[in-house]
Each structure stands twice: as C-alpha cells, then as structure tokens.
C-alpha cells in the first residue's frame, strides 16, 4: 500500500525530523507530516536559528561600536544597524538550513506529506489540507512542539503586544521595548534590541533574572545588563497591558506592592511555551494528557501502544522538569527511533543536559546548581575563576564573567558547571562530557587546557575548587 509506513512522524521540528532520519537510517519506511511550508519547526524557523543569527548581528555591531579601541578606522558618524540587511541575511540562513533538512529527507527516502495530521484510531493518521489522505503506520511519533503563550489578562495582538515569533521579524528597531519574562528567550531579545539601540526594560516575576540558573550567574547577568543600560525589574508582576496605536501602556506591581506605570513601543511576552495538541485527536485516541501536554514514560511511550511522543509537547509526569530545548527533542527522537528498531535504549539523564543562553554575556551550564546540590544533601565544594584574568579574554575585549564549579566534597565528583562570559555556550561542551563520564575535579585539573584559550577558565576553576588556582 502506497500510504502504509513503518513509522509516521507528526511534525518536522528538531524532534520529528531527527527521529525520522534515525528511523530511516535503521531501515524503516518513514513519512513525516508537516503543516508548515518548510521543514525544521520552531528551532529553524522561529527559534534557535533566527535568534542566534540576530545575536551575531548584535555582536558585529558591538565590535564596530568599539572600532576605536580595535584601531579600526571607519568613516565619521555613529555606527548603526540596517534592519533590512539584518532580516535578509537572517532569512537566508534560515532558508538554507530548512532546505538542508529537505535534502536530508530525500537522501534518506523519507516522504514529506504536506498537511495537518490528526490521530484517528489504531495506526491511522488522517492528513487534512495539502496532501489530504489517510496514512497507515505501525508506529506513530507525535512531535508537534509548542507555541508562545501569554499569561491571564495579557492579550497578545501580534502588533504591539508581541511574542518571539514577531520579534524575529521586526523591520525597524523599536525606540522602546518592555520584555515580560527573563528566561532564555527574554534575555536574548534584551541583548539583541539593546545593542540595536532600543530602550529595554526586562520584567521578571521571580526575584532574579534567568531563574533556572545558579544564583551567581543571575547576579552577574543583572550587573552586566545594568551596565549596558537595560532596566531590570525583578520580583515584579505585569498586571495590565493595553495596546494603543503608538504603543503599549503597562502596569506592573513591584515587590513592595507599588504599582508602576510604563509605556513602550512594544511589549514582548516571553513567559513560556505551551503544547501544540489542539485538533490532534490526542484525547480521542486515548492518550493520557496533563494540562495539554502528552504524558510519556522515560522511553517516550504514551499511554497508547505504538504511539510515542517527543520534544516540547511532552511531559514526563514524574516530577521531572522537561526542558523545552532543541537538543533535548533531538536526543528523544533518536532514542525513540532506536527503540522502535529494537535497539537497546536508556532514559535521558536530565542532569546532564546543557542549557545555553546566548545573551551578552553568554551563559552555559550543566548539572546541579549550588542550591540544588545542597538540597539533594551533598556537602559541596565550590571553585570559580574569572574570564577577565585570561590573556585570551583580554585580547577579545570580553573580560566579563566567570566559570563556577559545584563539586561533591566527599568523592570530588563534578556535579555542576556554570559559566557566564565569552564563548560559554561552546565551553560548556567540556563540562557536559565531564558530567557524563562522572569526572572528578582532580581529573579536570589534570586535563591540559591549551593556552591561550577561553577554556583555560574551566581548568583554572577546577584548580580553584581545590583551592589552588594558579592565576588568582
Ligand atoms: C525564540 C526561541 C529561541 C529558542 N532558542 C533555542 C536555542 O537556542 N537552543 C535550544 O536548544 N532551543 C531553543 N528554543 C527551543 C526549541 O526551538 C524547541 O525546544 C524545539 O524546536 C522543540 O522541537 P520539537 O520538535 O519538539 O517541536 P517544534 O520545533 O515546535 O516542531 C513542531 C512541528 O510540528 C508541526 N505541527 C504541529 N502540529 C502539527 C500537525 N497537527 N500536523 C502537522 N504538523 C504539525 C509544526 O508546524 C512544527 O513544525 C528556542 C525557542 C524559541 C521560541
């Protein structure tokens, strides 16, 4: 039967497309149903790729703004940003990568069925719109992802009160921007638009910026943001936002109960993402759900045999916080494809998942924060080393930040590594491997770090954990 497959994947984001490729590599006949005009999902089209492209533009502008220090001569005048060119370059990068996924589908003989999929009973997926048809599948993988959601009382109008979906497409730099929420998305846009010239205010309900990070990281980021002229309001709740023709009037309640009034050209709501399950037929086929998320076990099996779910749309439902990250969705896609093909698979250890936030200064972290390690009963040993001391950081003109290691005093095991500063999103890879291999601090000390590199900060932080930093 032409429309009978071993595996049908719903959604071609970083979860779905990776699952499809791995299943095809393992000899399965695979189809992916995707409703967008391009493959790649949130990460490629609205998320990781466009935001990091914009951040690279912001970094380029930062270098040019400091041209005098670099001894680079440019014609008189203040360097600015051409948003037309920024958008053109960003869209070219996005287009190239989505086409790349199309190529990989062809290479792996994966059928892309263009349309919207609905679960319709055992082994059946109905596609509406586009290539409307009914597909038969021995195994179904749901990877429908997430959408930007607001909080009660704040209505997204996509013109004045916007989400990241609109913030990546702005044709002009807003004079002023208020950002609600200081998770990765919020602080990345704060860095982008502050550098481009906006007056930026970031409002966070919890007492500190990037609340999932180690407290020392939050404090360092707040210090840097304030230095860059980003207004930071923590412990503050946005209670009202009214969009008008020229901007948004915002009311926020500060920690001491005071109501603050602000107005801005745009309000960016970055308060988290909800699961995409509307119209999917999930409940109808009997999938167990939790607040709209699909419940899965640690090998991503749903409550219905032969239907798996991965990525932003799932909850593990055992108290584990499931990070909505591209690399998590891809790891889950590979795990499920291999399980379906009969290979041995093991649950993901979420303590070993790196978190990267590409704001300026960048953040890279993995493992337990100091507070979490103490909560779990460890007697902890801490070591930290500032980037500013390193020759390489001085050369790059990026002296901010530090690497902090959280270790277990008893066995010397590295429990967590938290860094803020230049190249942290790259440097964290060494720390991820260290945790995966249950590395001790001693082993990190004995690992020779090349000179002059930013990575020396990791080696020196390990030395510092044993009270023996060489360059402090
Ligand atoms: C602004 C922003 C920046 C981000 N930056 C990063 C980052 O730097 N690093 C990182 O790791 N993560 C980042 N993320 C998160 C990352 O994008 C997501 O975790 C990741 O895309 C989740 O992948 P997924 O496959 O689960 O879902 P998605 O990528 O959301 O893909 C789901 C796909 O399913 C399709 N779909 C949904 N329903 C149907 C249906 N019924 N029929 C057919 N198709 C359907 C959708 O069109 C979509 O293409 C960012 C997110 C945002 C919003």
Answer whether 403's CB lies under 8 Å from 425's CB. Answer: no
Q: What pLDDT does 1 receive?
A: 57
CA angle 343, 349, 355 (to 5 degrees): 120
Q: For 359-467, where are the E strands, in sequence order?
A: 363-367, 380-386, 402-408, 414-420
Taking the C-alpha atoms of residue 150 and residue 138, their distance in angstroms, rounded to an integer, is: 37
d(CA 247, CA 258): 23
Supply the residue whose CA is at minimum distance from atom 31 of ligand 1.
Answer: 13
Q: How far is CA 226 from CA 90, 190, 222, 442, in A?
A: 28, 11, 6, 37
Going from the Cα of 143 to the center of ligand 1, the distance in angstroms, rounded, reads 9
DSSP character string of 280-318? S-TTTTT--EETTEEE--TT-B-SSTTEEE-GGGEE--S
The CA distance from 179 to 166, in Å, is 13
- Whole-angstrom CA distances from 10 to 41, 87, 326, 437 are 11, 30, 16, 34
Q: Which residues of the chain have pLDDT under 70?
A: 1-2
Q: Residue 39 and residue 110: Cα distance in Å, rounded?
A: 12
Q: What is the pTM of this model?
A: 0.97
Please name the residue that has the structure tokens 């790891």. Answer: 331
Å from CA of 267 to ligand 1 middle: 22
Sheet containing 199-203: give its strands across: 161-162, 266-269, 176-180, 199-203, 231-233
Contact predicate 201/262, CB 8 Å: yes
CA of 330 to the centre of ligand 1 (A): 11
Query: How much distance in Å is there from the Cα of 273 to the middle of ligand 1?
Result: 10
Dihedral (CA of 90, 95, 98, 104) sign: negative
The rounded Å distance from CA 136 to ligand 1 centre is 25
Per DSSP, the residues of 188-228 read HHHHHHHHHT-EEEEE-SSSSSSTTS-HHHHHHHHHHHHHT
Token pair for residue 398? 């990026």
Q: Which atom of ligand 1 is nearest to the CA of 168?
A: 1
- Could you tell me which residues come within 8 angstroms of residue 195 by beta carbon, excluding any fewer than 6 positions away? 58, 59, 61, 62, 228, 360
Is there an atom of ligand 1 within 6 Å of 12 CB?
yes
Kindly give the number of the ligand 1 atom that is closest to the alpha carbon of 324.
19
Catalytic residue, chosen from 352, 449, 451, 463, is 451
* The ligand 1 atom nearest the CA atom of 41: 49
Sequence-separated (6 or more) residues with CB below 8 Å from residue 273: 146, 147, 148, 149, 312, 324
Q: Ligand 1: which residue has its CA nearest to atom 9? A: 48
Could you tell me if the CB of 51 is within 6 A of ligand 1? yes
Is there an atom of ligand 1 within 6 Å of 316 CB? no
Q: Is 224 in the pocket of ligand 1 (CB under 6 A)?
A: no
Q: Is-contact 423 457, C-beta < 8 A?
A: no
Confirm or reject: Cβ of 41 under 6 Å from ligand 1.
yes
Q: Is 451 annotated in the active site? A: yes
Q: From its phi and psi, is residue 245 left (phi > 0), alpha (psi between -120 and 50) or beta?
A: alpha
The C-alpha atoms of residue 111 and residue 204 are separated, in whole angstroms, by: 44
Orientation angle between helical segments 83-107 and 16-25, nearest 10 degrees: 30
CB 431 within 8 A of CB 366: yes
Q: What is the dihedral of CA 460, 463, 465, 469, to 10 degrees?
A: -80
Ligand 1 proximity of 440 Cβ (cutoff 6 Å) = no
Q: Is 42 in the pocket of ligand 1 (CB under 6 A)?
A: yes
Please give the distance, rounded to the nearest whole angstrom, from the Cα atom of residue 122 to the centre of ligand 1.
26
Pocket test for ligand 1, best of 9, 48, 332 (most atoms within 8 A of CB): 48
How many Cα atoms occupy the beta-carbon half-sphere of 256 within 13 Å? 2
Q: Is any ligand 1 atom within 6 A of the Cβ of residue 40?
A: no
CA distances from 404 to 3, 64, 370, 415, 458 (A): 53, 31, 9, 11, 8
Cα of 359 to ligand 1 centre, how many Å?
20
Q: What is the pLDDT of residue 403?
A: 98
Q: Is the CB of 191 under 6 A from ligand 1?
A: no
Name the residue of 8, 9, 11 whose CB sits within 8 Å of the most ligand 1 atoms, as the mutation to test its pocket.
11
Residue 57 to residue 93: CA distance in whole angstroms: 13
Regarding the beta carbon of 16 and ligand 1, being less than 6 Å apart is answered yes
Give percent helix, percent strand, percent coil of the chain, each to the nearest 5: 35, 25, 40
C-alpha 18 to ligand 1 mean position (Å): 12
Establish whether residue 94 lines the binding site of ligand 1, counting it when its CB lies within 6 angstroms of any ligand atom.
Answer: no
């Amino acid at each position: 039967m032409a429309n009978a497959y071993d595996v049908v994947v719903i959604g071609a984001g970083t979860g779905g497309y990776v699952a499809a490729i791995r299943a095809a590599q393992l000899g399965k006949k695979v189809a992916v149903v995707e409703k967008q005009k391009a493959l790649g999902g949130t990460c490629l089209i609205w998320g990781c790729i466009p935001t990091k492209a914009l951040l690279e533009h912001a970094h380029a502008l930062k270098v040019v703004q400091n041209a005098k220090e670099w001894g680079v001569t440019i014609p008189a005048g203040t360097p600015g940003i051409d948003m037309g060119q920024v958008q053109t370059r960003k869209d070219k990068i996005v287009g190239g990568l989505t086409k790349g996924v199309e190529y990989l589908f062809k290479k792996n003989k994966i059928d892309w069925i263009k349309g919207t999929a609905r679960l319709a009973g055992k082994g059946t997926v109905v596609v509406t719109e586009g290539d409307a048809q009914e597909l038969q599948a021995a195994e179904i993988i749901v990877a429908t992802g997430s959408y930007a959601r607001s909080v009660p009382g704040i209505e997204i109008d996509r013109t004045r009160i916007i989400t990241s979906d609109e913030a990546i497409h702005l044709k002009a730099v807003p004079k002023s921007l208020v950002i609600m929420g200081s998770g990765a998305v919020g602080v990345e846009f704060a860095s982008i638009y502050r550098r481009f010239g906006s007056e930026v205010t970031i409002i966070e309900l919890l007492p500190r910026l990037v609340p999932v990070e180690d407290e020392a990281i939050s404090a360092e980021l707040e210090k840097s943001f304030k230095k860059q002229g980003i207004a930071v309001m923590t412990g503050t709740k946005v209670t009202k936002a009214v969009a008008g023709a020229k901007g948004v009037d915002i009311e926020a309640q500060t920690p001491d109960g005071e109501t603050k009034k602000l107005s801005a050209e745009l309000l960016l709501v970055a308060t988290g993402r909800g699961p995409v399950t509307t119209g999917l037929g999930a409940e109808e086929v009997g999938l167990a759900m939790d607040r709209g998320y699909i419940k899965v076990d640690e090998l991503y099996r749903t409550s219905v045999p032969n239907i798996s779910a991965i990525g932003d749309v799932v909850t593990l439902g055992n108290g584990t916080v499931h990070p909505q990250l591209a690399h998590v969705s891809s790891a889950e896609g590979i795990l499920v494809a291999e399980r379906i093909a009969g290979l041995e698979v093991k649950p993901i250890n979420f303590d070993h998942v790196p978190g990267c936030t590409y704001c300026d200064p960048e953040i890279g972290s993995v493992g337990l924060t100091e507070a979490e390690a103490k909560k779990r009963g460890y007697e902890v040993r801490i070591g930290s080393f500032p980037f500013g001391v390193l020759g390489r950081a001085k050369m790059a003109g990026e002296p901010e930040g530090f690497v902090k290691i959280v270790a277990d005093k008893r066995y010397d095991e590295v429990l967590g590594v938290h860094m803020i500063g230049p190249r942290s999103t790259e440097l964290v890879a060494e720390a991820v491997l260290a945790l995966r291999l249950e590395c001790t601090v001693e082993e990190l000390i004995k690992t020779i770090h090349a000179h002059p590199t930013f990575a020396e900060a990791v080696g020196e932080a390990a030395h510092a954990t044993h009270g023996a930093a060489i360059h402090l």
